[in-house]
Structure 1
Amino acid sequence: HLERLRALAREVGLEAPLYTCTAWGGAAVPAEGFLPMHAAYPFTPWEPDPSFEPVPSREFLFRSPQQPAADWWQAGAFRYPIERYPYAYCELGAGIQMTYLHRPLVPPECTQALAVVALGSGCNWLGYYMYHGGSNPPGRRGFLNEFTVPRLSYDFQAPLGEYGQLHASYHRLRLIHLFLAEFGDRLAPLPVVLPPGASTLKPQVTNVLRYAARAHQDQGFLFLSVYQDHAETADLEGIALEVLLPQERLRLPHEGSLRLLRGMSAILPVGLELGDGLRLRYATAQPLTVLHARERRCVVFFAPDGLQPEFALARQGCRALTVQGGSSAEEGETLYAWPLPGLGTRLEATGLSGRGVELLVLSQEQALRCWKVRLAGTEYLLLTESEGAAWVDAGEERLTVCWQGEAQLDLLSYPRLPSSLPATGLLEDRGTAGVFWRYRLQCPPWKARWSLEQPEPQVVRLRLAAEALEGVRDLFLRVDCVADVGQAFLDGHLVADYFGSDLPWIIGLKRFAQPGRELELILRFTPLQANAPVLRYFTRERLPLPASDGTLPVTVRAVQLVPEYGIELPWQE
């Protein structure tokens, strides 16, 4: 069947460099010409039983196709010669679509842990479903949605939402994508090394550290995870890792122990070559990216929440080590550093040529707001300081910065931005913040040009002035409500819908605005039934008392319009 489909595609000119096929669940894989792909979904809301109780999935246990166990995944999980193909995922569940019967929330820690465990298990291809949510178009004679999901909305709790908004999982994955962009070529050839007993570990057992390595000789990466879906987890105390290398034995940390917070996952380097003859024996911090400059190299790390960073550099090849924002010591053939994560922390290691390498160590919160861009031949690390979502992009002729919330945004840069950017007048130089430089972006504040009415308890009418989107890139309607289903109508047509949950209903209004015309959006809600099984997905404190008709009254707790600002800064090489 697959071979015939490929032949039909080629007959009409659909030639592709790769053809892929489903390989999970024991699916048949053609002998030649297809790349087998896998999937991982910890949440399964498509179950038809409204009382279905999910169990902890096996997706957060490290395993290896090169070292298959009898119960590795399912009986007959691999029906193809695994040594011939890279281990690839096309459907890591980076979110999940809510159904009418099941409305689970996917925490961002889950998305991050899925990717970390997949990489630690030998995956060299991360593919997601969905990475960007969307909206189904209405059909000519009905709706095109799948059974039990909203008619239009397919937000999927994806890293990028239905209207392009950045969810928390997007930033979690960006940490991994930055790592892979810089270190992926080192990781890809490395085989998996599993600790003793890894194949017998059960997902219900959460008081044991899950870990694996991908390594060859004395170089590689350690993968740690303390996340498990549908199970109680706790912080792990008193953890020490021992790494046996051909010529030495490493203990992480050198003295004492590590504390790993529940829900965390991390990638730690072992034997990482930093350049200029410098070698990092290990670090209890995660590599983020590398800034390549004309004169020197800067390697950026971050400390996963709760993890005390410790750096151990080989004395051979390192002429000197200075630590700004922490302490250091020398013992035998190793230089140790204990930096305090933050904007003012920098390690400088002088290598064989005398040029050396810089190391920055951020907190995880700071890393989640970092962006790497290239301007005028130099790479920069930009950090956005905003309570709302923010993003940065660099093109051939301009630097674009967008954010939600207040009309001003502080932007931190390392190293200092080219002088031509502040000279545009759009960027105000605010001095230093540790080793970073602070700049301020300011837009004219968006003025509310909208009105809101609630003519009935289950109906909300939003009127937006014709010029309401002037000066902003978009407006996001954020509705905090307790209801079963929400539907939004424009000119009598359904344009957006929502299945009630603890998540707010968010609608991007730019999509529906027409120049010179006032926008009137009607929101209609249906109440939850007091005995509905789906109530278990709601926080009990949010639910109103039942009415006499057996329903829970629709409760609109808050309605907000959140502007998205944007500034484009021109620059030249």
Structure 2
Amino acid sequence: MKSRFKYLIASTLIISLAFGFQNTLGQTLKKYEINAEVAPVKIYSDHLKMGGSNPKGETILVNNYFLSKSGNPFIPITGEFHFSRYPNQYWEESIQKMKAGGINIIATYVFWNIHEEHEGKFRWDGDRDLKKFIALCAKNDMYVFVRVGPFCHGEIRNGGLPDWLLGRPLMIRSNDPAYLSYVEKLYDEIGTQLKGTYFKDGGSVIGIQLENEYQHSAAPWGLTYAGQPHDWTAAESDLSLTQAGVGVSETKNPYADLGNDHMKILKSLALKAGMDVPLYTATGWGNAAIVTNESIPVTAAYAYPFWTAHKDISPFFLYKDMHCDPDYAPVRYQPEDYPAFPAELGTGIMTVYSRRPIVEQKSFDAMMNRCLGSGANGLGYYMYHSGSTPRGDRYYFSDEAYGLPKISYDFQAPIGEFGQVREGFQRLKLINRFAQEFGDLLAPMTTVLPENAPILKPENVTDLRYAVRIKDNSGFLFVNNFQDDLKTTDKPDIQIAIKTGGDVVTIPEASGFTMKEGENVIFPFHLAINGADLIYATAQLYTKSDDGKMPYYVFVSQDGSNAEFSFAKSNGLSIKKSPGISLDQNEKRILVKCSKGTSEFTANVKGRQTKILVIEKSLALQSYLVTIKGQKSLMFSDAVILQENDMISALSAGRNAFTIHVYPKFLGKLNAENAAVLASVNNSLMSEFNISVPEFKLEPTVRQIGERKTVVTLPPSLNGLNDLFLNIDYTGDTGMGFLDGELVTDEFWKGTLWQIGLKKFYPNAASKEMVFYFRPVNEGASYLDDISPKDRPDFSKLKQVLNIRKISFTPEYKVNLQFE
């Protein structure tokens, strides 16, 4: 493992930041150089007993470096969504949101205690209907990974183990035959639900995760006493090495062989229950057990953990070679034998009563950039779509012993507890589309690092962080300028020279580019575009279309920057410029310089034309890929754009009027259900449609019962809205919401707006009162260090603070669109 890592490091060169030269504008360029003349990674697969085909002859295979689909390298983009934590009547809308965000695999837990709360009585109805959920994923062309446990964690009571299991004469999470007999019954039940849904049957289930963090972590038993230390849900032989949450585990487990055997037994039970899939995974971080050569050991990275005593600055924004050196190493397996497949990248985090980390949404795409640049050939987001933990017949299923909210599982995720689409969703979309569209190029590429990579510390926010992935002189340059819990510095006038086997690519060739604080980029070099050799671009690849008469590529530039594209000169290449484009040619290349904002030019290679669209990141964040009349198109809007077959829907929160732009230009007619449409006639690159619906206006009726209790009267109906969000702007300790005296929603205050989607409660909630009970925050509360300084209460006059500033509604409109 270390020999290859040292070879890559030894083959690189970085020139000191102290060295620079004056460019023609009098600016001092900061020059970096990296030698990417490295041997390609060795690819082999005979040792792995995985893979499969479906009735159409399509295959999913895995080697030691990447996955392939029907012979083509494939980067899975996995989003975690727990079906049992969300109302089943809205599952399909959520699946469509995930697809719109660039997810191609949905991962979901099957929590044992939710399905068998009472021993011997399994429930698969309502929000527990696994079969229905899988069918909806298949309907929307989404693959599924099912995480079958028996232990899941997922911030569920006992980590998903039923309470009654504690009262049975057996040793949990062990090879005890009595325990395994219960697991076999669970797997048989899950197998019955999954029958006919597997990839081999033509279905969407391509993967099974066995257990979770086995011989690494556990959850506390929910049956406990106040003040009692946590009693972990682990076999007694593993208790001394069991830790809270995800972390590094340096100590070798003397019972590791038993753990390896246990994982093999679980796989045999899964196969016996019919769970025959191309891919099996096991959480392999921190010396956890896997099924050697029969499961992919997936990795994790959480930059804002709630299980640590205080904030810590993570290493997860520094480039490394993850194929040789996984996060949370040491590990129990040989890393070079498996692809680097992070399945739990912390896109958000939960809050517990004593710790309330605030996750910056910029961290999401920054971490994914770092992982891809570090050799990851899969991305998995935990959580991607959050929800609400259900209540059982006897107790809340939430992990109350760990100090979590009784219901809320918002996780600050890209898609919130009530389906809210957040900044992180938009940011990840750019990474996801890049990995989907160009994963066949990226996956086989070798990681190359600058020589200071092994000594660069997370606290160092001044040195440039970058890496290269390369194969056959073509590749991608990755740069990241984000660090959790620290503010990095703007880095202007950067120039990076990449030495390949054929030449030296200098990005950019004469001037420099700027990395803004908190941002990240991926620049291509020697990219083949329909016969043209793009030497480099100072814009990030986003997507492409090869269908229709005019193929196009879309690149994303940093806001306020002038992107440039250098094409190798050839006899058959010409560039057709448009307004805002300038050309500079010499005997070796054609340099295309784009003005700020949106621009387009055409590359013509011997009569074959390809349009290049360049958009700024702020616009790209509003983009959605759709199909209009068989044409792969981009739509840009403040609204969330979803598609099902030919029907496109727009969801607009808080705005009854919004604009949609379409690229390439659509010259037909747009009809909108129950909405007015005004098409704008202009000479821009895109079609423009202005859409409006009648405005929904409603001020909440609020009354106060003492200092801590507030009552909100809910409207008689949602009046055709897609949802109605109740917003509570307050400072306090905790908030709890009741309907008909039953707790239905709760929150731990952390300085952010509490938003509750009401549609899940209708029609039963019509005209009813929702009663809120708040508790004040106390001076010296353990979580105050997590709260932003601007949001911390002033305790100079009072030692307890409760302030309910404003309660309001935000309507979410839905408009169905039809292009004719």
Q: TM-score, normalised by structure 2?
A: 0.65
After TM superposition, give the deviation of residue 103 of structure 1 in Å: 1.2
Seen in structure 2, the aligned counterparts of structure 1 residues 418 and 456 have a Cα distance that, compared at 3 Å, is: farther
Matches within 5 A, 1:35-114: 35-47=296-308, 49=309, 52=310, 54-66=311-323, 68=325, 73=327, 77-114=330-367
For residues 398-431 of structure 1, what are the alpha-carbon distances to aligned partners after superposition, in whole Å with 9 as ceiling and x for unaligned? 1111111121111011122352424977532122
**Aligned residue runs from structure 1 range 344-383, under 5 A:** 345-352=599-606, 354-383=607-636
CA positional deviation for 1:154: 0.5
- 78-87 or 524-533, which moves further after superposition? 78-87
1:80-479 equivalent positions in 2, closer than 5 A: 80-146=333-399, 147-275=402-530, 277-305=531-559, 307-316=561-570, 317-343=572-598, 345-352=599-606, 354-384=607-637, 386=638, 390-417=639-666, 419-422=668-671, 426-432=676-682, 434-448=684-698, 450-467=700-717, 469-479=718-728
Conserved? CA contact 2:597–2:615, under 8 Å = yes
Instruction: Verify: 1:561 aligned to 2:816, yes or no.
Output: no
Amino acid in structure 1 at the alignment position of 2:723: D
Letter of the aligned partner of 1:253 in structure 2? P
- The whole-number CA distance in structure 2 between the counterparts of 1:162 and 1:124 is 29
Shift of 1:14: 3.1
Q: Distance in 2 between matches of 1:43 and 1:26?
A: 21
Structure 1 residues 441-482: Cα deviation after superposition (integer angstroms, max 9, x where no partner): 111111316412233332221112212x11211001111111
Whole-Å separation in 2 of the counterparts to 1:557 and 1:84: 56
Residue 370 of structure 2 contacts residue 478 of structure 2 at CA under 8 Å; is this kept in 1?
A: yes
Separation in structure 2 between the aligned mates of residue 168 and residue 11 of structure 1, nearest angstrom = 43
Question: What is the alpha-carbon distance in structure 2 between the residues aligned to residue 73 and residue 11 of structure 1?
Answer: 33
| Alignment: residue pair count | 555
Distance, in Å, in 1 between the alignment partners of 2:815 and 2:322 is 47
1:250-287 superposed Cα distances (whole Å, 9 cap, x missing partner): 21111122221111111111111111x21211001101
Matches within 5 A, 1:507-522: 507-514=756-763, 517-522=766-771
1:42–1:59: 8 Å Cα contact kept in structure 2? yes
Is the partner of 2:681 in helix, strand or coil?
A: strand
Residues 476 and 563 in structure 1, CA contact (< 8 A), matched pair in contact too = yes
- How far does the alpha carbon of each residue in 1:93-130 deviate from its partner, in whole angstroms, 9 at most, with x for none? 01111111111211121111111111111111101111
CA distance in 2, matches of 1:551, 1:305: 44
Distance in 1 (alpha carbons) for counterparts of 2:694 and 2:288: 57
Superposition deviation, residue 79 in structure 1: 2.7
Q: Whole-Å Cα distance in 1 between the matches of residues 635 and 439 of structure 2?
A: 22
Q: What's the counterpart of residue 532 of structure 1?
A: 781
CA contact 1:98–1:149 (8 Å) conserved in 2: yes
2: CA distance, partners of 1:117 / 1:526: 41
Q: Does 1:29 align with 2:273?
A: no
Identify the match of residue 15 of structure 1 among 276, 279, 283: 276
Contact 1:134–1:163 (Cα < 8 Å) also in 2: yes
**CA 1:543–1:22: 2 relative to 1, 3 Å:** closer
Q: Cα offset for 1:548?
A: 6.8
Report if the CA contact (8 A) 1:422-1:429 is conserved: no
Alignment match, 2:41: none
Q: Which runs of 5+ in 2 are unaligned?
A: 1-261
The one-letter code sitting in structure 2 at the alignment partner of 1:148 is G
Does structure 2 retain, via aligned residues, the 8 Å contact 1:446–1:471? no
Instruction: Determine whether 1:506 maps to 2:755.
Output: yes
Contact kept? 1:426, 1:569, Cα under 8 Å: no
> TM-score scaled to structure 1, two decimals?
0.92
The 2-side partners of 1:548 and 1:439 are apart by 54
* Partner in structure 2 of residue 4 of structure 1: 265
1:497 aligns with 2:736: no
SS in 2 for 1:332: coil
Distance 1:213 1:400 in 2: 39
Unaligned 5+ segments in structure 1 are: none
Aligned AA for 2:317? F
String of CA shifts for 1:283-338, please: whole Å, max 9, x gaps: 01101111334111111111134654221111214123414323221133111122
For residues 73 and 511 of structure 1, what CA distance do their matches in structure 2 show? 39
**Residue 382 of structure 1 aligns to a residue in which SS?**
strand
Residues 485 and 400 from structure 1, CA distance in 2 versus in 1: closer, same or farther, beyond 3 angstroms?
same
Alpha-carbon separation, structure 1, partners of 2:414 and 2:539:
24
Does the CA-based 8 Å contact 2:301-2:327 persist in structure 1? Answer: no
Letter in 1 for 2:628: L
SS in 2 for 1:117: helix
Task: Report Cα offsets for 1:460-508 as digits up to 9, x if no partner.
Answer: 21112212x1121100111111111000000000000000012110100
- Structure 2 CA distance for partners of 1:312 and 1:201, relative to 1, 3 Å: same
Distance of 2:647 and 2:769 partners within structure 1: 36
> 1:507-555: per-residue Cα shift (whole Å, max 9, x none)?
0000112169313211111000012132223344444443877312x11
Counterpart residue type for residue 429 of structure 2:
R
1:217, CA displacement in angstroms?
A: 2.2
* Structure 1 residue matching 2:277: 3-state secondary structure: coil
> Take 1:418 and 1:253, find their aligned partners in 2: how far apart are those partners?
38
Contact 2:700 2:808 in 1 (8 A): no
Choose between structure 1 and 2: higher helix proportion.
Answer: 2
Give the whole-Å Cα distance in 2 for the aligned partners of 1:556 and 1:457.
10
Separation in structure 2 between the aligned mates of residue 137 and residue 411 of structure 1, nearest angstrom: 38
Letter in 2 for 1:377: G
In structure 1, the residue matched to 2:818 is: 570
- Quote the Cα distance in structure 1 between the aligned partners of 2:667 and 2:648: 12
Q: Tell me how far 1:92 sits from its aligned partner.
A: 0.3
Is contact 1:341-1:361 (8 Å) kept?
no
Amino acid at match of 2:493: G
Let me know the Cα RMSD of the aligned residues.
2.0
Deviation at 1:342, TM superposition (A): 2.3
What SS does structure 2 have at the residue aligned with 1:149?
coil
Give percent identity, aligned residues only: 32
Equivalent position amino acid for 2:812 in 1: E
Amino acid at match of 1:292: D
Q: How far apart are the structure 2 equivalents of 1:407 and 1:515?
A: 26
Q: Does the Cα contact within 8 Å between 1:421 and 1:571 map onto a contact in 2?
A: yes
User: Residue 161 of structure 1 contacts residue 167 of structure 1 at CA under 8 Å; is this kept in 2?
Assistant: yes
Q: How many angstroms apart in 1 are the aligned matches of 2:764 and 2:797?
A: 46
Secondary structure at the aligned position of 2:435 is classed as helix
Higher relative CO (Cα under 8 Å, sequence separation at least 6) belongs to: 2
Determine the structure 1 residue equivalent to 2:183: none
Q: Is the 8 A contact 1:422 1:428 kept in 2?
A: no
Whether the 8 Å contact between 2:324 and 2:335 is mirrored in structure 1 is: no
Three-state SS of the structure 2 residue aligned to 1:432 is: coil
